[in-house]
Amino acid sequence: MTDDADIAPGRVYLVGSGPGDPDLMTVKARRLLEEADVVLHDKLPGPDIIEMVPEERREDVGKRARGERTSQQYTNERMEELAYEGKTVARLKGGDPFVFGRGGEEMVYLAKHGVPFEVVPGVTSAIAGPGVAGIPVTHRDHASSVSFVTGHEDPTKPESAVDWEALAATGGTIVVLMGVGKLPDYTAELRSAGMDPETPVALVERGTWPDQRVATGTLDTIVDARDEAGIEPPAVTVIGDVARERQRVLTFLGNDYGSENGEDEQ
């Protein structure tokens, strides 16, 4: 809010933008987009939200910004640099900043470097994606727990950080983020862990975006459904009996996202 470098550092807000529909942003996130001196964002918030910020106040720090890979280190240092210029910075992240968004790392970096920060939670795609597709992540009759897992393991890890066998044993809903590419691998893992191959599975692509799409199937058929529909990231995978609820309510499901609700049924 001032350019005087001698004064106390500005504040960094780690802001969740929600799943994509600007109407699903928090009031606080919206206010920060209006008031922040600089908005640092990647692609995940989606064009509708990013374009609410005038170009001169936003910087793309996404992985493929400026035709090269932007490192996490660059983002961290840029937040710090702007704060020490006294700027109010909104670090805008898709969904909730602390759900698979590296927000945790960014927060610790800021604290270590003496930068005051605030966390502004957002509506995560892990719940909202299934939700707008008519899939409640818990349900009194079918699922008394839900697990959020990454489908995209860090390849440098010596062994899988996700225990699919243990997840299969919970009997609860499994929501996989970053799990389009590895869908064949983890559905196979779940089947070999003894999960019923008929377990319903749904893929929600670009949940709450104008071009949202949904593909449905079972543990056995979902890979074919993905390929047939050409589902691409960003998408969430919902595995569990709750995914069947969509079929039961589809006729009356009034969410105004995408045009393909109803075209995905086999």
For residues 159-188, which are near ligand SAH according to CB under 6 A? 177-178
Asked whether position 125 contacts ligand SAH by CB under 6 A, the answer is yes
Answer whether 13's CB lies under 8 Å from 117's CB: yes
- The verdict on 9 binding ligand SAH (CB under 6 A) reads no
Q: Which residue blocks in the chain are alpha helix, DSSP H?
A: 27-35, 47-50, 72-84, 103-112, 125-132, 164-170, 183-192, 222-229, 245-249
Q: Does 127 bind ligand SAH (CB under 6 A)?
A: no
What's the min distance (Å) between Cβ of 126 and ligand SAH? Answer: 6
Q: Is 101 in the site for ligand SAH (CB under 6 A)?
A: yes
| 178 is a catalytic site residue | yes
Which residue has the closest beta carbon to ligand SAH?
A: 95
Q: Is 93 a known active-site residue?
A: no
- Among 21, 42, 96, 264, the active-site one is 42
Question: Minimum distance from CB of 32 to ligand SAH (Å)?
Answer: 17
Give the Cβ contact number of residue 163 at 10 Å.
Answer: 13
> Given 28, 43, 52, 178, which residue is catalytic?
178
Query: Is 100 a residue that touches ligand SAH (CB under 6 A)?
Result: yes
Nearest distance, CB of residue 197 and ligand SAH, angstroms = 23
Alpha-carbon span 239 to 256, nearest angstrom: 24
User: Are the C-beta atoms of 152 and 179 separated by less than 8 Å?
Assistant: yes
Q: Applying CB under 6 A, which of residues 187, 199, 208, 218 lies at the interface with ligand SAH?
A: 208
Instruction: Report how far residue 133's alpha carbon sits from residue 111's, in angstroms, rounded to the nearest whole number.
Output: 38
Distance between CA atoms of 200 and 179, rounded to whole angstroms?
A: 16
Neighbours of 29 (CB within 10 A): 23
- 63 assigned to active site: yes
Applying CB under 6 A, among 9, 86, 95, 200 the residue interacting with ligand SAH is 95
Q: Contact with ligand SAH (CB under 6 A): which of 130, 217, 234, 258?
A: 234
Q: Does 133 bind ligand SAH (CB under 6 A)?
A: no
Q: Which residue numbers are catalytic?
A: 42, 63, 178
Residues interacting with ligand SAH, by CB under 6 A? 19-20, 44, 93-96, 99-101, 124-126, 129, 177-178, 204, 206-209, 233-236
